[in-house]
Amino acid sequence: MTDLATAPTADILRHQLADALVAAGAITSPDVERAVRTVPREVFAPPGTSLADAYADDVVITKRRADGQPTSSVSAPWLQARMIEQAGVGPGSRVLEVGSGGYNAALLAEVVGPTGAVTSVDIDLDVIGWARRGLDAAGYPQVATVVGDGEHGHLPGAPYDAIIVTVETADIPPAWREQLAPTGVLVAPVRMRGLTRSVAFTRDGTGDSAGSGDGLVARSLLMCGFVPMQGQGSIPEQHLDLTGGGGDGGDGVVVLRVDDDTTTVDPGALAEALRGPRSDVWSGITLPGNTSFETLLLWLTGQPVPYGRLFVDRDRAKVHFDGLLAPFANVSPAFLTADSLAYLVLRKLDSTVPGAQPPGESRWEFGAHGFGPDATLVATMLCDAVRAWDRHAPDPHIAVHPASAATDAASVAASDGAVRLLVPRRHATIVVSWSAPALTSAATA
């Protein structure tokens, strides 16, 4: 039981949160730091949320669908701070937030100050009602709240110096670019073949500061996760249950998510393949424990290979698959053929082998578990891709072209041998490219 006499107050917790975000490097701007030290986060959390939960550096879910899936939340503070910084928002900025809740809009209001303007749009009437009440109670009546599909932006407030999208989007609708000021910044959590990154885009200005091009180019990206977009911009992924033959409450132990129309797999054959045998291939590429490899995940996503993400309930999988299906994470990138797959794994190197690693340091090796008739081939392809990533350690370049220019993007992709991921959507083609060469023909055969 909490001792109320000694429990930290909201003020104390707010400053502790700000201190932690500054120490972790999530906040570098004095304006954002002041905003986090000022806005009462607990006002925007659902009734009954403890102060400790309201000020944890974590998501607070505010609404769920009937099946339990979250549809709205107060996003994690580190992510809110970093996205505001990605957008370069400052005093006097005019900002549109797509996806509301109130707290982030209040942070933005603090950052833009009395000479700026913040408009927050949400498709859900309940969310806007909740955000409005919170903003008024916390002292931010100047923030405009609007019910609508953020796919269309909000024309009456345009042009915006920044549009910050706080819901996962698979496409870039034209309104977002059109409603940006010439030097404005669009920050959006873009889903590319299942992988979501918060990308800060500016207009592609072909060199001029007025941004006269008809596309967008990325200037920063950040790993993140958000609830998916509803409304006209909703583009669901395919969810293929590969648990196969469970029938005893085992549904959903293994689900393959595929985020493109060009990948065709046979879920029955893949479910059968997962019953074994398994082919293990190791890459020889190692890294110390607790090292981020998020660029590897984007690199794998971009390889010219059918691709999906394998979601595994690992505890239940131990029982259903007799320990054979053993990914190192709940979500793993997977290379696919119609009837075979290989997912990425890490194994801890044996510290007793002399010379395997410096004393006291744990090292991990990337590899792949393959299943199905092409198990070894597809696992080898995955390891080849890991080795290519290790050789080039490339930084991706991300651009958005209007869908009408998609053919041009595709022809550029073929011309210089660089690896390119093309994500063709209804409004736009998202092009991720790396200067590193594509996999060798042996690997892509």
Footprint on this chain of ligand SAM (rule: CB under 6 A): 71-75, 97-104, 121-124, 127, 149-151, 166-167, 226-227, 229-231, 233
CB of 178 to ligand SAM, least distance (A): 16
CB of 362 to ligand SAM, least distance (A): 35
- Report the residue number, 97 or 259, with the smaller CB distance to ligand SAM: 97
CB of 234 to ligand SAM, least distance (A): 7
CA distance 39 to 30: 14
Cα dihedral 257, 262, 267, 273 in deg (nearest 10): -90
CB of 149 to ligand SAM, least distance (A): 5
- Report the residue number, 89 or 386, with the smaller CB distance to ligand SAM: 89
CB of 44 to ligand SAM, least distance (A): 7
- Report the residue number, 136 or 280, with the smaller CB distance to ligand SAM: 136
- Report the residue number, 55 or 343, with the smaller CB distance to ligand SAM: 55
Cα dihedral 106, 111, 117, 121 in deg (nearest 10): -40
CA distance 438 to 160: 38
Q: Which of 72, 75, 100, 340 is catalytic?
A: 75
H or E segment to which residue 10 belongs: helix 10-23
Using alpha carbons only, give the angle 335, 338, 339 rounded to the nearest 5 degrees. Answer: 90
**What are the backbone angles phi and psi of residue 180, rounded to the nearest 5°?**
-80, 140
Asked if 75 is an active-site residue, the reply is yes
Single-letter amino acid code for the residue at 44: F
- Report the residue number, 38 or 230, with the smaller CB distance to ligand SAM: 230
In 124-245, alpha helices (H) = 125-138, 174-178
CA-wise closest residue to 187 among 204, 170, 166: 166
Q: Is 443 left (phi over 0), alpha (psi -120 to 50) or beta?
A: alpha
State the distance between the two ends of the chain, measured CA to CA, in whole angstroms.
62
Catalytic residue IDs? 75
